Structure 1
C-alpha cells in the first residue's frame, strides 16, 4: 500500500506498546531500549526518548588509561554515550539493519563502526588493527564484548554468517566484515593478484583471513571509513 489516510499511517507506524524486553526491535532499523538503569550506545545514535533519561558522553579516563590511549588512535567511531534513568530510548544508525544478540558468557567481536548498543555489565575492550591501518584509509578497530547481556549491532542490508573450520579458512574484505566469534584472531593478507585488478592503493587487495573454529559475519556492502584524526 503506497497511500495512507492519517489514521492508517499512525496505525501502521506507531510504537508497539506491548514491548517490555530490555532490547526490542521496534522496526528492523530502530532499536527500543526499555531502560531502568544504564545502557551504552553509539554516540549520536539517539532518535527519541521518553521518561527521565540523562545522556553523558563516555569519560576519557573512565575505563583506565589503556582504553583512553586506544580510543585516541581509533578515532570518533569508537565514541560511546551512557544513557541513565528510566524510560524508553530509541536508537538507530544511518538506517542500517539491526541485529540483537543475547550473550550467555560468550565473547564476540564487532567492528567498532557497527556497534550500536550493549547492556551495562558486559565486559568490553577496544582492539586496534594496527597492521591494516597503513593499508586502508582510516584503518580499522573492533570491540570485544564478553559476559552475560544483550548487544545490538548494525549492518548494511541483510548480514550473512560464514562458518570457519580448521580445514576451511574464510577470507573477507575488511570493509564488508561486521563481526566474528571471540575465539578467532584474524590475520591480514595481501592478494597480489587483486592488486593487479584494483591498483596498488586499493583496499580490495587487503583481506582478513579467519582460521580455526568459529564464524564471521559479513554484509553485502563495502563501508568506507573516514581517515583518522591526527
Structure 2
C-alpha cells in the first residue's frame, strides 16, 4: 500500500466530467472536438484522435475559421472523439474559465485548451492570443490566479491575461534604472525586472496575474524576433549577436 498521498484510483466512469481531478490536472468530458495545446494531454479514456490544427483544417474548414493565429498553429492540435481527456501542465495550477460572449487575451504558453465555440486570434501584444465568443477554456498558472481591476501596472512575467479592457502599454521606470547598479548590469545582458519595465493598464476590465514571475518558454517568440532581424544591416546584426551571446553566457 502507498501511504501519505492521495491514492484515489480513477477509471473512465469515476473521473470528473469537465472538472479538476486535482489542482494540477483537469478532466475534459469529450464529446466532439476541443483545441488543446501540444503536449498538454497526460492521459485519456475512450476513442479520441489527435490531429495537428493545420492537418485538421484541410478537411474541416471550420477549424481554420475558429483558429486565426497562424503563428501558433503548429503548437496546437484538435482532440476529437468521445471519452475522458486529462490535461496537465508540469505540475502548474490549472483552472477552467467560462467566457460568455466576451473576449479575453491570455499568454499563449498558459492557454492549455478551449472549446470550439471560442475563436482564437493573434494578439497585437507578442506572446499573447485572444479568445472571442462563448465557451470554456483551461489555463495554467504558477501559483493561484489573482484578479485585479485597472488602473495599475504589472510585472510582464507575472501577467497572465486581461479581459474586456484595452491592451496595455509599456512603462519603463527610468528613475529605477538610473539609480540601481544591479539594474544597469542586468540591462547590459538584456535582462529586465518588473521594477524597471511593466505593463500599464488603464480603463475598465479585469486583469489576471499569476502568483509567481516564472515564465514558460514560448517557441513562437523566437520566430517573431528572427523575422524582425531581417531588417537589420550587417553591423546592427553583429551587435545584436554579441549581446545575445553575452546574455546566454550570463544566464
Question: What TM-score, normalized by structure 2, do the two folds share?
Answer: 0.73
Tell me which protein shows more strand as a share of its residues: 1
Say whether residues 1:88 and 2:84 are aligned partners: yes
Say whether residues 1:35 and 2:30 are aligned partners: yes
**Alpha-carbon contact 1:30-1:92 (below 8 Å) kept:** yes
**Alpha-carbon contact 1:122-1:147 (below 8 Å) kept:** yes
Cα distance in 1 for residues equivalent to 2:5 and 2:199: 45
Deviation for aligned residue 1:115: 0.2
Q: After the TM superposition, which residues 61-72 of structure 1 pair with which residues of structure 2 at under 5 Å, given as runs?
A: 62=57, 63=64, 67-68=69-70, 70-71=71-72
Match for residue 202 of structure 1 among 165, 169, 191: 191
SS, match of residue 13 in structure 1: coil
Aligned partner of 1:137 in structure 2 is none
Deviation for aligned residue 1:9: 7.7
Cα distance in 2 for residues equivalent to 1:37 and 1:9: 38
Aligned partner of 2:144 in structure 1 is 158
Aligned partner of 1:178 in structure 2 is 160
Deviation for aligned residue 1:11: 7.0
Deviates more, 1:33-42 or 1:58-67: 58-67
SS, match of residue 44 in structure 1: coil
Say whether residues 1:212 and 2:207 are aligned partners: no
Aligned partner of 1:101 in structure 2 is 97
Cα distance in 2 for residues equivalent to 1:88 and 1:10: 23
* CA 1:150–1:208: 2 relative to 1, 3 Å: same
Aligned partner of 1:136 in structure 2 is none
Deviation for aligned residue 1:174: 0.8
Aligned partner of 1:191 in structure 2 is 173
SS, match of residue 211 in structure 2: coil
SS, match of residue 94 in structure 1: coil
Q: Give the structure with higher Rg (CA).
A: 2
Q: May I ask how many residue pairs the two structures share in their alignment?
A: 204
Cα distance in 1 for residues equivalent to 2:162 and 2:39: 25
* CA 1:184–1:86: 2 relative to 1, 3 Å: same
SS, match of residue 175 in structure 2: helix
Cα distance in 2 for residues equivalent to 1:143 and 1:99: 18
Tell me which protein shows more helix as a share of its residues: 2
Cα distance in 2 for residues equivalent to 1:11 and 1:157: 20
Gaps of 5+ in 1: 130-139
SS, match of residue 102 in structure 2: strand
SS, match of residue 80 in structure 2: strand
C-alpha RMSD of the superposition? 2.6
SS, match of residue 228 in structure 1: helix
Cα distance in 2 for residues equivalent to 1:36 and 1:88: 9
Deviation for aligned residue 1:32: 0.5
Aligned partner of 2:123 in structure 1 is 127
1:132-185 per-position Cα deviation (integer Å, ceiling 9, x unaligned): xxxxxxxx4211112111011110011111112xxxx21001111001113321
**Alpha-carbon contact 1:181-1:215 (below 8 Å) kept:** yes
